[in-house]
Amino acid sequence: METTTRQHLETRIVHAGRDATDRTGALVPPIHLAAAFSRESLDVAPAFVYSRRGNPTRRALEDALAELHEAEHCFAFGSGMGAVSGAAMLLKSGQTVLLPDDVYTNTHRLFTSLLPGHQIDPHFVDMTDATHVEAALAGRDVGMIWLESPTNPSMKVIDIAAVAAIGRRHGIPVAVDNSYCSPYFQKPLDLGADIVVESTTKYLNGHDDLMGGTVLVNDGALAERLAMIQYVGGAVPSPFDCWLLLRGMKTLALRMERQQASALAIARYLAGHPRVAAVRYPGLESDPGHAIARRQMTGYSGMIAFEVRGGAEAARRVVNAARLFQRAGGLGGVESLISYPIVGSGASQAGTAMAPSSALVRLSVGIENVEDLLADLRQALAT
């Protein structure tokens, strides 16, 4: 009997989300803009009732994202923070959530400014050593372990499998924000995580023209609760944004391969520059997280963090001198971006022990010619 070989991820990315039952021959799925759907009769359960509960275009997107992550269940949200907030609603009042001490600023804001009002207690841990996670469980009712790898903005690598094993031993769900990698370079569910969160605004879309997020799980009980959170909470993406994201995802493999190759070349250049004090990029053999990254990632993405000698003033001059790199927040798009986290993405931690270094600069490497990007950094560092 002939067996079918599973297609490569690059192929599945291109064809994910296509409706196999469609008889029009359309290569592109349609946009279903309806808010409500009629039912044949009260005795027949309809496929769709109301777009907050479900929409054909959103269903196509969720099916595609589940395919790429090899997940059983997927829930699309209207922004990355909508997805983070949706996953956070799985926590119960009175519980503690463990987070990295380098977590994304708006995740930090959510857990420190909003959720304490619901008796959710955040506790921050240096998760680059998994024994710190184990130790932090003592004396606490921990309802979730939340991590990023690499972290945003400092690019610390956390051993997802090791933390997931701790969560499994204690019956605590582990959630991973995978926005820096996308499923092309990292699949946390395969590493033992229970919940994956991504800002689809970033690499999955890749064109800086929509907001979106997603939460993926394999567990049926978690999926049932997330379905209610998505429906009742209502933070769902529009059908048009779902359609845009389906279109953007088709080039994910091409973009990420180009961005990774350029980022590695740039990281090596920065590592040898006399005005750069330190570089964090997991693709560098010198990076403290390189060995773990090699185990759990299939590639290293396009994000780089580096510290400029001379501190805050020198770092600000480099950022302001950039010409091709755009001074903008966000990441993962085709345009290369440069940012200064202490006054941007890390602003909420300013003045605390969790604040990014005032000398830290973050790059999101796009798809431009790498020689042009290197030339821009060369002249910026010359300032």
Distance of CA 66 to the CA centre of its chain: 15
First to last CA, the chain: 67
Choose the catalytic residue: 52, 53, 109, 294. 52
CB contact at 8 A, 273 and 314: no
**Bond from prior residue into 30 cis (ω within 30 degrees of 0):** no
State the Cα–Cα distance between residues 141 and 375, nearest whole angstrom.
52
Helix, coil or strand: residue 145: strand
Point out the catalytic residue in the list 159, 177, 208, 241.
Answer: 177
Count of CA atoms in the C-beta half-sphere (13 A) of 172: 24
Order of strands, edge to edge, in the sheet holding 213-217? 73-77, 213-217, 195-199, 174-177, 142-148, 96-100, 121-125
52 a catalytic residue: yes
- As a whole number of angstroms, the distance between CA 156 and CA 135 comes to 20
Cβ contacts of 210 within 8 Å, gap of 6 or more: 200, 201, 237, 241, 244, 245, 248
Catalytic site residue 39? no
The active-site residue, picked from 187, 202, 255, 258, is 202
Catalytic residue among 58, 101, 104, 184: 104
DSSP code at position 250: T
Task: Kindly give the interhelix angle for 370-381 and 252-271, rounded to the nearest 10 degrees.
Answer: 30
Query: For residue 114, which amino acid is it?
Result: L
- Enumerate the β-bridge partners of residue 10: none
DSSP calls for 105-133 = HHHHHIIIIIGGGGT-EEEEE-TTSHHHH
**Catalytic site residues?**
52, 104, 177, 202
